[in-house]
Structure 1
Amino acid sequence: MAGRALRKEDGDLTGPEHAYALPGGGELMLSVGDQVLLRVNDYRGKRTRGENEDVLNGYRGIVRAVDEERRVLVEWREKTADGHRHVVEWVDADYVAQGGLSLGYAITGQEQLDRAVAGLVREVETGTEERMILTEMPKSAVPAHVRPVVADLPTPRAPGVAEPNDADASGGDTASGNRSIPATAEQRARPITPPEPEPMADRPYAHLSNSALRDAVRRAATAARATSAAAERAEAAAQRAEQQAAAGAGAYSLALSRRHQGTAERAVAIRELRALGGAVTERADRLHDTQARIDGLDQQLTETGRFGRPVLRGEDRTVVEADREELLRTREEAARQLKQMNTRLNVVTQQAGPVGEHEAVLTEADMPQEEKAALFRRAQKKDNQAASRSGPKPSRRATRPTVRPSAQRAFEAKQRRVAA
């Protein structure tokens, strides 16, 4: 990988290289200082009750050490409420052998491409000698989706410098020990004629003006940055999904938690509804009895004798009137309570849902805790599977800049006029 080669050349990788066999016959070379990407989840935090940190897919870190047991010490940085914190954890050789670790130099290569593209744009605009930056980059350092654009850009040479293969084309044979013959005085007196440049018409970018080339380079740079940003967003989303799954906050786990909570709330409403139904019936019966007693006392108070005089008189009438007043207050209080109970009954009826579902809701709410835990584990497993599928996907290759037929015809006409 070009990124690793550059870091090794700059002295950023220290110590010996350690080779690890990978699934499928591949091999991973690691040294202290290598940038790596963690690929397999290891929820060791729960197993050790917080003594160790979880190692999750998508974490990008640096190799800090390799011990005699071929374990790799990886350091990475995590976001916290206060900023960031540095985490260091060992991963063993088995973890690496199952593909849990890979080199992670994609971002560095992207930055190198951006600098090269920016340099070529400045050359087109100012005429400086930075034009060779992009076209002389190794193809391995150029992302696949911009290689078609890079392939169309010229590789400029200084005046008088022939192609690298000119010696071979002229029949020169360095392996045979032949050396060039010193030039004679006559030959030295001749003016040096630079080699004829390759005809522009034969080049695939001959139809492009400086402005079109500049636009092509800018589109390549924009596509590269967009791809890098999309990959970072996808990795961040995958990392969040992994962390949510580990914390029981994934989509399936949250849906199951919401269902259990909703079922528990409905069960409470159903039980209250049934209790309120009986209380309302009892309170209505008591109110009916109170009204019947009031009606009986009213009849006694209005009853008259033979000559139109009230039957109840004196102290007896006073007692009956006092009883009637007490019953009126009791009826008023009972009516107020019954109204409140009916209002609450309407609310819990809505919360309890359809009557036909009440028994099923109560059964689910009374489910043993062991069964609920088993359901939660299955939901968490689905979250882990979904998170593993949500990683960054390969980007599509960027298409080459196209030329309109009218521009091509104009260029061909210009060539014919020059030939004439």
Structure 2
Amino acid sequence: MLSFQRRVIAAGLKSLLLHKLRSFLTILGVVFGVASVVSMLAIGEGLSRNARDQLLRFGPDRLVIRSTQPANSTASGGDILIYGVTQQDLDRIQRLVPNLASIAGTYEIDKREFWAGERVAEVRVVGTTPAFADIHRLEIASGRFLAMPDEDQAADVVVLGAAAAKRLFAHHEPLGQSIKSTSGYFKVVGVLVEHGEQSSMEYDPNEAIYVPFTTVKARFENVARIVEGGAKRYEKLDLHQIGLRASDVHYMPEIANMVRKLIATTHRKQDYQLMVPFELLRQMDRTKKVFNAVLGSIAGISLLVGGIGIMNIMLASVMERTREIGIRRALGARRRSIIAQFVTESMLLSTVGGLIGIGVGVCIPAIVTRIANVQTVITPWAIALPLGISVLTGVMFGVYPARRAACMQPVEALRHT
């Protein structure tokens, strides 16, 4: 049996190599189909993993509500535009939503100058509570983060982001030193480890400094002056952001729904934005399934075209080899031997096309990564699936020509010239 299969494969290869150009042109449809599938899957998987990693770094057990200016809302003259989430929203969430591990609000002041001796740095001031570090995964390099006594006493203490500490103190130890601004002096009680990703924050946490929430409300102005295109406007926010962490990720859907309903009851305008990584991850998985389905359809069409091309060439080959088929049948060859011969040739065409397509498909993501600096990931199934489909295509589209060859009457075939 094994020797028969070897003879069939050897004969198939010999037949295909007799018409090298025709065989190559025949498999181009399969090559392009497989190459497009492999490369698109690699690029799609890379983008998907990159986005998923960013969401996972933020944490699927976390949720952020950020104040946003509602559409078609402006302040004219000396009017002050008031919008966004409030301390009352935070208190209601903390009181009514179960299964919360921690919750914290922030009040932010952009571009405020601070001095440490003769060194000066323009940084963002973030007023918050001790739970902020847990929610946003901030790590302490030296000293400590803000504590409840700091909050209760509106203490003039500050925790420096890694970049802010370098700009203000260069290579000196900041811990225990004081920095000053137009709002007064602040004692450095901690320095953060450099944060690699911005995660849920719209600013670079390394360039920020963190003070107690009560301190920022008492020592800094609560009306922001915004200049855009030469026009001035004034904004007043109670909180820029509310962040929370669930005690377990499985509670996140329930928590997100409750928070969404609570905020909606107190805000007539859409002056907030909810970011729920858990929901984004689920949406990403659904989108990926749709993407794979669409890609599968495209691949199916490409391979269908390639398969039709293979079938046409095999039918032409049957016509060209009619006399050969007649001689083999007259010498005692069985129909299944003829079928095996032509199905093998068809399968060899599609398999070679699939292998070349995989080679091309693997090279394309590498080129994309090198030129566009986009992460691409080639998974085993992204290679096995297109190759398997291409082989199956060869078998399916080779059956009809093979049966047509096998059903020829030996006498009629021998008369063919």
Is the TM value for this pair above 0.5? no
> Normalized against structure 2, the TM-score is what?
0.26
Task: Tell me which protein shows more strand as a share of its residues.
Answer: 2
> Normalized against structure 1, the TM-score is what?
0.25
Higher relative contact order (CA 8 A, sep 6+): 2
Larger radius of gyration: 1
